[in-house]
Structure 1
Amino acid sequence: MSVYSIKDLEHLSGIKAHTIRIWEQRYNLFSPQRTATNIRFYNDDDLKLILNIASLKNHGIKISKIVALPKEALAQEVEKIGREQLSHEDQISALTIAMIDLDERSFTSVLDECIGKLGFERAMLEIVYPFMRKIGILWMINSINPAQEHFISHLVRQKLIVATDEAQVNESSPLFLLFLPEGELHELGILYANFLLRSQGFRTVFFGQTVPLEALEEVYHKLNPDYLMTAMTTAPDPNEVHQFVKQLGGKFKDSKVYITGSRVIDEEIELPSNVKILRQFEDLSQLTRAITLDEA
C-alpha cells in the first residue's frame, strides 16, 4: 500500500492542505498514522475518500452533507454525478482511483469514455497527460508504488500504439526519427509525438527507449531523416545535458532536431542553430501545421 503526505492529498485532489486538516479535526474524516517524527501520513483509502469528496464539492454539494453520507452512498453519489456531468477533474480523479486499486477494467472504461467524448488527441492532451504529470511527481518522490505507475503507463502505451497503427501515412511526406537518450525510459511523451505525427500523415521511424548516440548516428546516415525528435525527462544527467544537446546539433547537422522534456524545458541552454525546444505538445501541433504548409 502506498503512503501519502497531506501535500500529496492536496496535489491530487486540489483541496488545500489547510482545509483537509480542518475537515479532519471537525468531521473526523481520517485517522492518519504518524511517522517516528510525528508527521502525518495517509493511505490509499484516505486518498480515494478525499478524491470523492473533491468531486462532490466541485459539483456544489456542501461538505457537511458529504460527510454525513455512508461510504457506499458517497461512492454512489460520485458515480451518479459522473454519469450525468463528468468534468476533466472528475475523470482524472477516476483514473487515479483506478490506479490505486490496480483496476484495469475501470481505468480502461474511464479512458475509453474520455476518448469517445473528446477524440483521441484531446483525451491525451486534456486528461491523460495532466493525470500522468500528477502521478509522475508522486512517483519521483516515492509516494506511490512503482508498480502502480508501470500499470497505468502500460495501459496508456497500449492505447497509443493501437491508435498509431491505425494512422494513414503519406509515403512522400518528410521523415521524422524519434528516440530517447541512453538511460531514458519514460516513453509516453515520445509515443504520443509519434502518434500525432503519423496521424497527420508524416513518416516516422520510432526507436524507443535508451538509444546510444553512436547507434543512432549509424542509422541516421542510412535513413537521412528530415527531422529528429527526442525527450529528456530523467536522462541524461543534468550536468551532461548541455553537452548532449551540443552533440545532437553536431552529429545530426543535416536535420532539424526538436527536443523536449523536463531536462530542457525552462532551462538556460545554448542551442545549436538546428536544434529547437518544444515546450508543450501544442508546439508540436503548430510545427506539423507549418511543415504541411511548407510542403504544399
Structure 2
Amino acid sequence: MAVYSINDVENLTGIRAHTLRAWEQRYDLIAPRRSKHNVRFYLDEDLRELTTIALLNKNGYRISKIAAMSPTERAELVTSLSALNVSPETQLDALTLAVVELNEYKFSLILDTNIGQRGFEETMMEVVYPFLDKLGVLYFTGSVTAVQESFVGGLIRQKILSATDHLPAIQKSDRTVFALFLPKGEQQDLSMLFIQYLLRKRGFHTLYLGSNISPTDLADLCRVTRVDYLLTHLSNSYVDRPVEDLVADILDQCTEARLLLSGYQASLHDLSAFVRVEKVSGLGEILAFLAKLSKREGLSIASGR
C-alpha cells in the first residue's frame, strides 16, 4: 500500500497544500491520516478521490457542489469529462488519475478518443509526450511508483505497435532505408518505436533493431542489407562508453551509412569531425528532417489514424 505526503498530493493533483487543508476543514472531503509523529499522510484511495475532486474543480464545478456528490457520482462525471475533447490540462489530470488507479480502461478511453479526433501522430505529440514529461517529474519526486510508470509504458507501447501495424506495407526497395537501434544502457524504446511509426507513415523502409545493439551487431546488419541512415538516441543516463568512441566505432562498422543522433548526450559533444553524423535535437527536428527527405524523394504521408 502506497503512502503519500501532502507534497505528493500537491504534485499529483495540483491542489495547493493550504487549499487542501481548507477543503478538509470546511467540507470534510478527505480526512487525512496521521503518523505517530502527527504528520499527515494519504493512502491510495485518498489520492484517487482527491484527484477526481481536483479534476472536477478545474472544469468549473464549485467545491461545495463536488462535496455534495457521492464518490460514485464524482467518478462517473470524471469519466464523461475524460471522453470529451477538453483542455490539455484536463487530459493530463485524467490520465494521471488513470495511472494512480492503474485503470487500463480509463487510460485507453482517453487515448482512443483523442486518436479518433486528432489522429495517432497528433495524439502522441500533443497528449502523450506532455503526459510522459509530467510523469517523469512525478516519478523523480517519488509521487508515482516504478510499477505505475511501467504500467503506462506498456499501454503506450501497445498503442504505438497497433498504429504501426495498421500502416501500409513498404514494398519499393529503392526508398531510403533507416535502421533504428538503441546501444547498451539506453532505455528510450517508446521514443524509438514512435519514430519507427513516423518513418513508416512517411513511406520509408525501416528496420527496428531494438535495444542493446552493439557496433558489431550493426556491422552484421550492414553486410546483409543496404542501410542509408542509422538512427539512435543517447539520453542523459547513457554512460556505457564515451560518445565519441561509440560514434567512431559505429561508423567504422557501417562505412556507407550516415548516423542520425538524438538525445541529451549527443547535444553535449562536438561531433563535427565526423562527416557522416547529423544531430537531430528532439522530435521537431526529426520531423523537419523527414519532411525534407520526403519532398526530395517525392513521398507522401500514408493515411491512417
Instruction: Give the alignment's TM-score, normalised by structure 1.
Output: 0.83
**How far apart are the structure 2 equivalents of 1:90 and 1:145?**
22
Note the C-alpha offset of 1:17: 4.8
Note the C-alpha offset of 1:11: 3.7
**How far apart are the structure 2 equivalents of 1:143 and 1:295?**
47
* 1:259 match: 261
**How far apart are the structure 2 equivalents of 1:284 and 1:21?**
46
1:79-120: CA deviation from partner (whole Å, max 9, x where unpaired): 343455533333333333333333323322222112111111
- Judging changes above 3 Å, is the alpha-carbon distance between structure 1 residues 251 and 104 closer, same or farther for their aligned structure 2 residues? same
**Which structure 1 residue ranges, 5 or more long, are not aligned?**
none
* 2:198 match: 196
* 1:186 match: 188
SS at 2:230 equivalent: strand
**How far apart are the structure 1 equivalents of 2:202 and 2:157?**
19
Note the C-alpha offset of 1:69: 3.2
- Higher alpha-carbon deviation: 160-169 or 70-79: 70-79
Give the partner amino acid of 1:264: Q
The structure with the largest alpha-carbon Rg is: 2
For the aligned residues, what is the CA RMSD?
3.1
**How far apart are the structure 2 equivalents of 1:28 and 1:286?**
53
Note the C-alpha offset of 1:273: 3.7
Instruction: Name the % identity.
Output: 35
- Judging changes above 3 Å, is the alpha-carbon distance between structure 1 residues 89 and 247 closer, same or farther for their aligned structure 2 residues? farther
**How far apart are the structure 2 equivalents of 1:204 and 1:92?**
32
**Larger RCO: 1 or 2 (CA < 8 Å, sep 6+):** 2
**How far apart are the structure 1 equivalents of 2:192 and 2:7?**
30
Q: 1:176, 1:204 within 8 Å by CA — same for their partners in 2?
A: yes
- Judging changes above 3 Å, is the alpha-carbon distance between structure 1 residues 286 and 22 closer, same or farther for their aligned structure 2 residues? farther
**How far apart are the structure 2 equivalents of 1:212 and 1:92?**
37
SS at 2:61 equivalent: coil
**How far apart are the structure 2 equivalents of 1:151 and 1:90?**
21
Note the C-alpha offset of 1:188: 0.7
* 1:56 match: 56
Q: 1:194, 1:204 within 8 Å by CA — same for their partners in 2?
A: yes
* 2:134 match: 134
Give the partner amino acid of 2:93: S
* 2:217 match: 215
Q: 1:173, 1:202 within 8 Å by CA — same for their partners in 2?
A: yes
Instruction: Give the alignment's TM-score, normalised by structure 2.
Output: 0.81
1:42-101: CA deviation from partner (whole Å, max 9, x where unpaired): 333333233323322322223343334332232233234345553333333333333333
Map residues 40-55 of structure 1 onto 2, 5 A cutoff.
41-55=41-55
